[in-house]
Amino acid sequence: MSYVEVLILSHLAKEPAHGYELRRRVEASTGYGLHNNSLYPALRRFEEAGAVTKTVEPQEGGRPPRVVYVITDVGQGLLHDMLAELPPDQAGDEAEFLARVGQFELLSPAERCTVLDARLAALSGREAHLARLAQASSDHPWGAVVVSELSRRTVAERQWVERLRALGGELPPPEKGPRR
C-alpha cells in the first residue's frame, strides 16, 4: 500500500464521500494531486477487500447517480495497520512518511515512535549515500552544489524527526512564527 491509499482511507475515516469530493479533500488538505486513475482503482481494491462499501445516491435534475464510499471496520483496521507500519522500502519516501505523520492522532505514542525510528534509519542511509556522492562530485562543481543542498535538507529533516522522537511520540508545542 502507498501513501495514496493511506490518504484515501484516512479521509473516509473522517466522513463518507463520493469520488470527486474525496479527491478534492485529499488535495486540499495535503497538496498532493490525486488523479482518478489512482483514486478509483484504490477504491475498487478497498471495496473488494471489504474495507469500504459504496452506496448509490440518486441526484435531481437528470444528473447521474452519485456513488458514496464509507469506510468499514475492516477499513479502519487496515488504515491503522498502514499508518503504524513504515517498511524500510517506504521509509525513505518523503510522501509515505509525511502521510503517516499527518495522521499521527490515530496512533499511540509508541506506534508514532516506530514510524519515526524507521524514518531516522532511512535518513541515516541517505546521509551516508550523500557523503559518498560528495566525494565523487569533487570534480563537478554544480553537482557538488546539489549534493551539498541535499545534505543540508537531510540534516535539517533528521533534526526535526529527532525532536519529534525525543518527545516520545507526543505532539510538539506550537512553534512561534514571526510576528506580523
Sorting pLDDT into bands at 50, 70 and 90, what band is 28?
confident
Q: Looking at the DSSP assignment, which residues form a beta bridge with residue 67?
A: 56
The owner of cell 494531486 is 33
Return the pLDDT at 168.
Answer: 85
The Cα-based distances of 40 to 49, 131, 141, 173 in angstroms read: 14, 41, 45, 38
Sorting pLDDT into bands at 50, 70 and 90, what band is 180?
low
The kind and range of the H/E element at 66 are strand 66-71
Ordered by start, the domain boundaries in the chain are 3-84, 104-166
Residue 4, pLDDT above cutoff 90: no
pLDDT digits (tens, 9 = 90+) for 76-130: 999 999 999 999 999 999 989 998 998 899 999 999 999 999 999 999 999 999 9
Of 132, 133, 130, 177, the C-alpha closest to 152 is: 130
**Three-state DSSP string of 19-57:** HHHHHHHHHHHHCCCCCHHHHHHHHHHHHHHCCEEEEEE
Residue 179, pLDDT above cutoff 70: no
Return the pLDDT at 146.
Answer: 94
pLDDT digits (tens, 9 = 90+) for 130-153: 999 998 887 889 999 999 999 999
Class in CATH terms, 3-84: mainly alpha
